[in-house]
Chains A and B, each alone.
Chain A
Amino acid sequence: MALSRRIAYIDLSTGKIETKPIPIEMRRKFLGGRGLDAYLLYNHCEKGIDPFSPENPLIVSAGLLVGTLASATSRTHVMAKSPLTGMLGSCNMGGFFAPELRWAGFDHLVIKGKADKPVYIWIHNGEIEIRDAKNLWGKSVTEAQWAVREELGDPDVKCLVCGPAGEKLVRFANVMTGIKNAGGRTGMGAVMGSKNLKLIAVRGTMDIKIAYPKEALEFNKRFIEQITTAKVNQTMGILGTPFIWGATNSWGGVRVNNFQYNQLLYADDVEPERFHEIANETFGKYHMAGCFACQVHCRARYRIPDGPYKGCYDEGPEYTTQGAFASEVGCTSALTVLTGNYLCNQYGVDWLELGSLIAWAMELYEKGILTIRDTGGIDLRFGNDEAVIEMIKHVCERDTWLGDVLAEGGLKAAEIIGRDSIKYLIHVKGMQNLHSDERPTPALALNIATASRGSDHLRSRPAIDLYHLPEPVLRKIYSNPVPYDGPLSSDFRSYEGKAWQVFWQEQCFMAVDSLGICKYHTTFLGATLPNFEDWTKVIYYNTGLEFTPQELWTIAERCNNMERLFNIREGLTPDDPFKGDILVDRYFTEPTKRGAPDVIGTCIDREKFLKMREEFYRYHGWDEKTGAPTEETLIRLGIDNEPSHLL
């Protein structure tokens, strides 16, 4: 059954492999996926180690409900200490790897050590083997996967792979599966590369017993209807995530020319409808694809329509690709977005980080901090499409001075470049912000400032805050499953009640990441989508485990606190400009220049922001000044004796 999946400890230095069952008490405390990963990371990662050292554990997992009837139960989670930030490294991806891992008998893999030559791990129906990857090393993300399938003689093998960027230790390299399902942010692919681990191949035909099959089937049908009838998901099913970029850009919520503007003008060629058209023309009318068991199907299939990669098959692009290779770098060409998308997928690199870094370098070039000599002859001005494509290759190959420097990530690059370069870097905790501009939206600003893996939109973003929902609707959502009677505001510019909304979303996302469900199936972009109470039902029907919504909430709190403990141990203090829960100065000092009437001319009020952050700490049970969990909080959550080494 779903709860019988094991944990495997794999030491690549010694070749030793050990497997254990996961005790039910650990499930009740941490569920699985990201939640249990957080426990494992805190327990298996020594304080202060070099993220590229063999001691850094790479933890790969499937969520508690992966492979079961709970809608889009496809998510793989990967954790380690991040080589980009030196703090929590964590990524979550869809596709088909996680369910296959479960059918092969495992839920969590803790991979330590470093192989003396390139290897891959082969997991098949309860068996684990470390194999030579001489023939896979150097191969692109897709080539490596097809090659290993051929070697193993099974087209249904699923892979988790690091691309050439991971091999070259680009500090924001992804782990990938399939064509484009990417575990982006924080450089988990580089950790794989540092271990000489090219790939994890899995194939399984073992049963996952469903506790109440008939009820699970019936409930799932209703659950899917709840998810697919939401307008936001219907739109996503046609236009994919690019529709979000279109909506955000129209009111002035995207970063342009690094951080100089907040709306991309003359953007017709990079609007979602344009990508829809290209997919129609190059793949056909039915071009949307889905992850495992998902009926939203937000991923477009297409071929590159022109240019040097004409005819190459790829999937996407996403909301963040439009940001990375259009708005942030000031480009307005669909071809640049699609080419960038393709290159990043093949190299296995986080386009979000990369686009943001190229945009930063462009501003440095504009300001004269970088010259044409530093760029190796590339005219790195905003809007130069060829320069963007060239820089993607140079960073992933590390074959020019600037490419090599940017591959080290923003903070290290700023140290090498020197002068005032750090002033223009848009980051939190050393991780670049995505293309969104949070100056008009205090809630979103607090979200990126406090997210556990650095500037990020997928840890605690109350996206529905942008919809001007009536207060009673907000109250209904945000006072469940625990009561909340504080202020709530329908105005996205307000600071009232936003701390609670961010806290609630953080709890919500931790729960789904631990269950292995996609965030588009939760209260994220749609107000009618499932959350805690619905999950208690799917957990029960599929696994037989009984939880109350409040219990799930407490589990999410516990898991969030484990991540917090890890970051505190690695040196987080609230106002530290490199490791803190704080935004760069530009958020507070440069008002927005474009956008809708209620957006233009706004920036974040530092005093109100800090007050909001204190309030946010308070909800967490953290000290208002140090941001650390209080003794009382740790005792309440039963994690006052960590590391406890139970797994």
Chain B
Amino acid sequence: MHANPKALVINYEKCTGCRLCELVCSVHHHGVSNPAKSRIKVEKWEWEGLYIPMSCKQCIDAPCMNVCPVKAISRDEILSRVVVDHNLCIGCRSCVAVCPFGAMGFDPVEKKVFKCDLCDGDPKCVYFCDEKAVDYVEVSREALLRKREAAEKIAQAHRRAVELMSEI
């Protein structure tokens, strides 16, 4: 098992909404430009300027894996990801219905489900995202960074409070 596995981490605040991730994902996996075949999708609330990229979380206790009646979905612990074995898949699409993130796609032409495979450890969406709204990082390190970020907000509020107190 990988000692300190990496994960796709999405920081929606940094997303500029350009959808290059959708484009490169579909080109890399299918050789076509078609966001309908992308593993990642930027959900938008345009009238508020909110852009939220959505992708597979590679769950440890994955609902798609649990629901699969033929055990076609399993975890690959080396890359800490959930993978579909298309030789076993019967196309029942139970996994599509059960995923809480909508991360399991279905290609109506090829009649196959598809999901993020982290591009075998070199995610193209990350490679192309200059903003690092999508990043591929060690999970434990990410948690530390997030702690610091959250604490920084409290620290700022504290500084402001002290400033205000001194003005009184």
Which chain B residues in 1-55 approach chain A with CB under 8 Å?
Answer: 13-20, 23-24, 27-28, 30-37, 44, 46-49, 51
Cβ contact within 8 Å between A207 and B17? no
With a cutoff of 8 Å between Cβ atoms, the chain B residues found around residue A179 in the complex are 46-47, 49
- CB <8 Å contact, B28 and A217: yes
Contact B20 A295 (CB under 8 A): yes
B interface footprint on A220-232 (CB within 8 Å = 1, 0 otherwise): 1100100010000
Q: Which residues of B sit under 8 angstroms from A224, Cβ to Cβ? A: 128, 130
Q: Report the minimum CB–CB distance from A24 to chain B (whole Å).
A: 19
Q: Are A284 and B13 in contact (CB under 8 A)?
A: yes
Q: In the complex, A286→B52 CA distance in Å?
A: 13
Closest B-chain residue to A207, C-beta based?
A: B32
A295 and B27 in contact (CB under 8 A), knowing A146-B47, A217-B124, A284-B13? no
Chain B facing A: main interface SS: helix
Knowing A293-B18, A295-B20, the reply to whether A283 touches B49 (Cβ < 8 A) is yes
Find out whether the CB atom of A207 lies under 8 angstroms from the CB atom of B20: no
Tell me whether B31 and A209 are in contact (CB under 8 A): yes
Contact B16 A289 (CB under 8 A): yes
Contact B18 A290 (CB under 8 A): yes
Question: CB distance A210 to B31 under 8 Å?
Answer: yes
CA distance A69 to B32 in the complex (A): 10
In the complex, what residue of chain A is closest to B45 when comparing beta carbons?
Answer: A155
Q: Determine the distance from Cα of A209 to Cα of B34 in the docked complex, in whole angstroms.
A: 9
Which residues A150-201 have CB closer than 8 A to chain B?
Answer: 155, 178-179
Take A69-B24, A228-B130 as given contacts and tell me if A294 and B18 are in contact as well, using a CB distance cutoff of 8 Å: yes
> Which chain A residue has the least Cβ–Cβ distance from B50?
A301
> In the bound complex, how far is the Cα of B19 from the Cα of A290, in angstroms?
9
The reply to whether B49 and A293 contact each other, CB–CB distance below 8 Å, is: no
- Output the least CB separation between B12 and chain A (Å): 9
Set of chain B residues within 8 Å of A290, measured between Cβ atoms: 16-18
Q: Determine the chain B residues whose CB is within 8 A of the CB of A278 once the complex forms.
A: none
Nearest Cβ on chain A to B27's Cβ, whole angstroms: 5
How far apart are A39's CB and chain B's nearest CB, in angstroms?
Answer: 25
Which chain A positions have C-beta within 8 A of B35?
103, 205
Task: Name the A residues within 8 Å of B20 (CB-CB).
Answer: 293-295
Tell me, in angstroms, the Cα distance from A169 to B123 when the chains sit together.
49
Distance in angstroms between the alpha carbons of A206 and B36 in the assembled complex: 8
Question: With A221-B128, A286-B14, A289-B51 in contact, is A205–B36 under 8 Å at CB?
Answer: yes
Nearest-neighbor residue (CB-CB) of B13 within chain A: A286
Establish whether residues A217 and B24, one from each chain, have CB atoms under 8 Å apart when the complex forms. Answer: yes
Query: When the two chains form their complex, are residues B33 and A67 in contact, meaning their CB atoms are under 8 A apart?
Result: yes
Tell me the chain B residues, 113-130 only, with Cβ under 8 Å from chain A: 124, 127-128, 130
- Interface centre among B15, B23, B131, by most chain A C-beta atoms within 10 angstroms, is B23
A288 at interface (Cβ–Cβ under 8 A)?
yes
CB distance from A326 to the nearest CB of B (A): 23
Q: For B19, what are the chain A residues with a Cβ–Cβ distance below 8 Å?
A: 96, 292-293
Q: Are A69 and B18 in contact (CB under 8 A)?
A: no
Q: Closest chain A residue to B32 by CB distance?
A: A207
For residues 278 through 307 of chain A, which have their beta carbon under 8 Å from a beta carbon of chain B? 283-295, 297, 301
CA of A293 to CA of B16, assembled, Å? 10
> In the bound complex, do residue A213 and residue B31 qualify as a contact, i.e. CB atoms below 8 Å apart?
yes
Is A142 engaged at the interface, CB distance under 8 Å to the other chain? Answer: yes
The listed residue (B18, B51, B130) touching A292 by CB distance below 8 A is B18
Q: Are B17 and A289 in contact (CB under 8 A)?
A: yes
Q: Return A2 CB to nearest CB of chain B, in Å.
A: 8
Cα–Cα distance between A62 and B28 once the two chains are bound (Å): 23
The answer to whether A69 and B27 have CB atoms under 8 Å apart is yes
B46 contacts across to A, CB distance below 8 A: 178-179
Which residue in chain A gives the minimum CB-CB distance to B14? A286
A315 within 8 A of B: yes
Contacts of B23 in A (CB 8 A): 67, 69, 293
Task: Say which residue of A96, A217, A286 sits within 8 Å of B27 (CB atoms).
Answer: A217
Query: Of all chain A residues, which has the CB nearest B21?
Result: A293
Task: Tell yes or no: A352 within 8 A of B by CB.
Answer: no
Contacts of B131 in A (CB 8 A): 286, 295, 297
B59 CB, min distance to chain A CBs, angstroms: 25
Across the two chains, which residue of chain A brings its CB closest to B49?
A301
Alpha-carbon gap, A146 to B131, bound state (A): 28
Query: B80 CB to closest chain A CB, in angstroms?
Result: 24
- Residues of chain B within 8 A of A103, CB atoms compared: 33-36
A285 to B18, CA, bound (A): 18
Judge if A263 is at the interface, Cβ distance under 8 Å: no
**A208 to B27 alpha-carbon distance, docked (Å):** 9
Query: Shortest Cβ distance from A618 into chain B, in angstroms?
Result: 42
A387 to B128 alpha-carbon distance, docked (Å): 47
Chain A residues with CB under 8 Å of B33's CB are 2, 67-69, 99, 103, 207-208, 210
Q: How far, in whole Å, are A222 and B166 apart by their CA atoms in the complex?
A: 53
Looking at B23, B28, B33, the one whose CB has the most chain A CB atoms below 10 A away is B33
Contacts of B49 in A (CB 8 A): 179, 283, 287, 289, 301, 313, 315
Q: What B residues does A458 contact at CB under 8 A? A: none
Q: How far is the CA of A506 from the CA of B2 in the complex (A)?
A: 56
Cα A155 to Cα B13 in complex, Å, equals: 21
Residues of A within 8 A of B36 (CB): 103, 205
- Across the interface, name the chain B residue whose C-beta is closest to A314: B49
Name 22 interchain pairs, CB-CB below 8 A, sorted by A: A67-B23, A67-B33, A69-B33, A96-B19, A103-B34, A103-B35, A155-B44, A179-B46, A207-B30, A210-B27, A213-B27, A216-B27, A221-B128, A283-B49, A285-B13, A286-B131, A287-B49, A291-B18, A292-B18, A295-B128, A295-B130, A315-B49
Known: A208-B33, A313-B47. 17 other contacts (CB 8 A): A208-B32, A209-B32, A213-B32, A220-B24, A221-B127, A228-B130, A283-B49, A284-B13, A286-B16, A289-B18, A289-B49, A290-B17, A294-B18, A295-B130, A297-B16, A297-B131, A315-B49
In the A-B complex, list the 4 residue pairs whose CB atoms are closest, starting with the nearest: A205-B36, A290-B18, A301-B49, A207-B32
